[in-house]
Structure 1
Amino acid sequence: MKGKLNAEKAANIWRIAGLFFLAMLWIQDGGGEAGVILLAGLGVITLARWRFTLPSWTLLLDQAASILAFLYWPPAVFALAVPLFESMFKGKWMFALPALTFATFYGEITLPLAVVLVYAGLSGGLIRAWKVEAGKNLEEADRQRHDRYELEELKEELLLANIKAAQMAEITERNRLARQLHDDVGHELTASVLALQAFEHLWKENDPQAAEMFTQARERLDKGARYLRETVHNIKPVKELGAEGLREIAGGFTACPAQFQVYGDTSRVPVHLWSILYPCLKEALTNVVRHSKAEKVEIELVVSPYIVRLSVLNDGLTEPVRGRWGIGIRNLRQRARAAGGSISSTAESRGFQLVCVLPLDKETPGGEPV
């Protein structure tokens, strides 16, 4: 995150501080040209490590420059702290052996030098551990984010599959009814027409069998009418569908008076959209009971040529309440979005309003989809 301290920034701060410390030694001791060349070389390679990823063997260059500078400027031995830090920071502690060996055997090691080298090694190791841990946390966050995206995609696919299944069930039911009407009612009507034609021919010839043909035609018509009544009776569900189902839900709401109005031709709304409108109304009325002190609720269902709109307005809540309109509304929004629609909520002076808008298939005047 921009502006936030991380392991790389901490390493850069340490490098700058190390170079600043060497510069102070050079000023205090008067290191001459050897100190200037060493500081310039370390500054260039430090800048290169900041901008690019250098191979680990470049750590030997830092140590070689420090050892050579030591021959002309003894305090240059403190510069070995820089490659020591880099070795521990990169996790390549083997590359720090030349610096440690030289610092140990060049002569009597002083306490300040020991403190500087130990500090450099520990700092590099700790900052590396910080970097590794941050990398693991970042990988875990990326994995969780990826899993969450996959779950959202799976949820969208399941919602779409649910809608497709409802549409296929509707088409299957239509085909079944068409076959039943054709096989039963259509067969009896066709037989009745043939019987009536035979009756007409026999009646004109005063044939005694005309009465029998008439009786057969009447029986065929009675059977066809019975098949038709049975088919219509089987079509009607036990529970009311369409706008009547919404009216039944509104009628069962007893917390306060609920006014329900319908505009437009509700027969144009397909079955799979009612499966979204019903829970939307139930959720809105449930939230009225839980989160508001409404005195009345206004429910409107508007069916236009291209959309169906359900609005639920209650006068008990005029300000949005954070966190209260959560999982239920969120799931309904997912279902509405899968159907190409949307669910929105607004809080204003009139009260809290929940609006569900779903698209309708464009139809021809005959009622068949274009």
Structure 2
Amino acid sequence: MKKLMEPLLFVNSWRFLMMGAFIHLWVLGDSQISSFILILLLLLMTCLRWRFALPVWFVLVDILICFFYFPYTDIAYYGFALPIFELALKGKCLFSLFLCAGVFFAQASSSFLFWFFFQAFFFGVFSFIFLKNQEMYRVDIDEQRKVRYELERIKIDLLEANQSVSHQAELMERYRIARELHDHLGHDLTGATLALQAYQYVQEPEEAKKILQEVKNRLERSTKSLRETVHNMTPMTRIGVESLESVVRNFQQKDIEFKKSGNMLLVPVHIWSLLESCVKETLTNVAKHSNATKVEVDLQVTESIVRLSIKDNGTAKKLSHTGSGLRSLQMRSRSMGGSLSISHENGFLVVCVIPLDKEMLNG
């Protein structure tokens, strides 16, 4: 909010304008010393309110000062505009009206004094409503900021939980495969090995023939079991780098080149999900906002990081702000300890770098 729109600036401006009005009345009047002292005392109270947040009962000091100078100067009657304004400013409108009516009828003055009191009451009520609305607005902004922070925290927690669940699912799948190989394939291979060792000591041809047949049967069962295990492990949908290649292959709007290097088996499942989302979101933005004719997608995997870069050769003016999709991907990248950077120089460029967890890879 700009400084000129601050309610407290308006309140203090009105206070000092009233002091200017009192000085004007003093110059036009008899210019007595008592009137000047009254103005100085009221100015002192105004300065105190400008520098400090005084309690509402402090208006009694203004009222006592004005009452004390009733016999000496008519400016004391106009001075009641200050406590009238301060009472209305604090939400004490009834007290402000009673004070306004009491002083006006006691003095029985002209209509000028009435309008002088009326404007003090009006601006006091107006300032009170303005300050109240500003406070409510600030509370609402704080609540919205708190809610947004909590939502961001929940999103990050969910992403971290998803990463942990993916890791646990991978470990459970490894355990299932190891158990299945041990229970079926390992049992038959062990039996075949023992049978071959026994075959060396068998003298009778018929018995040796039976042992060889048993070895043959066990090897056939082992081969069949291995084929079934591999078949069951083969995913029905594309995963990993195959999913990225599928996205690139189905992107028909631009000429696109996909390059990859490194051991793709080092990349965990949850990182592939992020990389696929990066490719889809970036290619969608290229199709909507770029006049590019060629797009390059480069995936590099090392022992420590995964780096995905997507660059086009467009020259059209890009948007000055980042879309919600890319902002979400940046947040997901940060939750994995990586980063996602965007550049609009010499075409549109998105670079996503994610570190590989060595403990997870070794696990």
Q: Same fold (TM over 0.5)?
A: yes
1:61 paired to 2:61: yes
Aligned to 1:9: 9
Please show how residues 1-370 of structure 1 align to structure 2 within 5 Å.
1=1, 3-96=3-96, 97-98=98-99, 100-106=101-107, 108-202=108-202, 205-206=203-204, 208-317=206-315, 319-323=317-321, 326-349=323-346, 351-362=347-358, 368=362
- Does the residue aligned with 2:348 lie in a helix, a strand or coil? strand
- Does the residue aligned with 1:348 lie in a helix, a strand or coil? coil
Q: C-alpha offsets along residues 344-365 of structure 1, whole Å, 9 cap, x if unaligned?
A: 221223x22222211112379x
Structure 1 residue 85, shift from structure 2 partner? 0.7
Q: C-alpha offsets along residues 208-233 of structure 1, whole Å, 9 cap, x if unaligned?
A: 32221221122112211211121122
- Does the residue aligned with 2:188 lie in a helix, a strand or coil? helix
- Following TM superposition, where does structure 1 have runs of at least 4 consecutive aligned residues deviating by more than 4 angstroms? none
- Give, as a single letter, the amino acid of the residue that structure 1 aligns with 2:227: R
Name structure 1 gaps, 5 residues minimum.
Answer: none
Structure 1 residue 245, shift from structure 2 partner? 2.7
Structure 1 residue 182, shift from structure 2 partner? 1.3
Counterpart CA distance in 2 for 1:334 and 1:154 is 12
Counterpart CA distance in 2 for 1:264 and 1:95 is 81
- Does the residue aligned with 2:166 lie in a helix, a strand or coil? helix
Q: Is the 8 A contact 2:289 2:318 kept in 1?
A: no
Q: Is the 8 A contact 1:188 1:221 kept in 2?
A: yes
Counterpart CA distance in 2 for 1:222 and 1:317 is 63
Structure 1 residue 185, shift from structure 2 partner? 1.1
Structure 1 residue 207, shift from structure 2 partner? 6.0
Moved more, 25-34 or 76-85: 25-34
Identity of aligned residues (%): 36
Structure 1 residue 343, shift from structure 2 partner? 1.8
Counterpart CA distance in 1 for 2:69 and 2:177 is 98
Structure 1 residue 2, shift from structure 2 partner? 5.7
Counterpart CA distance in 2 for 1:56 and 1:259 is 74
- Does the residue aligned with 2:245 lie in a helix, a strand or coil? helix
Q: Is the 8 A contact 2:88 2:125 kept in 1?
A: yes
Q: C-alpha offsets along residues 75-125 of structure 1, whole Å, 9 cap, x if unaligned?
A: 32111111111111111235443453133123x221111110111111111
Structure 1 residue 237, shift from structure 2 partner? 1.2
Moved more, 46-55 or 73-82: 46-55
Q: Is the 8 A contact 2:89 2:125 kept in 1?
A: yes
Q: C-alpha offsets along residues 134-166 of structure 1, whole Å, 9 cap, x if unaligned?
A: 111221122122112111111222222222222
Give the 3 Å change call, closer, same or farther, for CA 57–102 of structure 1 in structure 2: same
Structure 1 residue 49, shift from structure 2 partner? 1.7
- Does the residue aligned with 1:344 lie in a helix, a strand or coil? strand
Name structure 2 gaps, 5 residues minimum.
Answer: none
Alpha carbon RMSD of aligned pairs, Å?
A: 2.1
Structure 1 residue 307, shift from structure 2 partner? 0.8
Structure 1 residue 25, shift from structure 2 partner? 1.4
Q: Is the 8 A contact 1:103 1:109 kept in 2?
A: yes
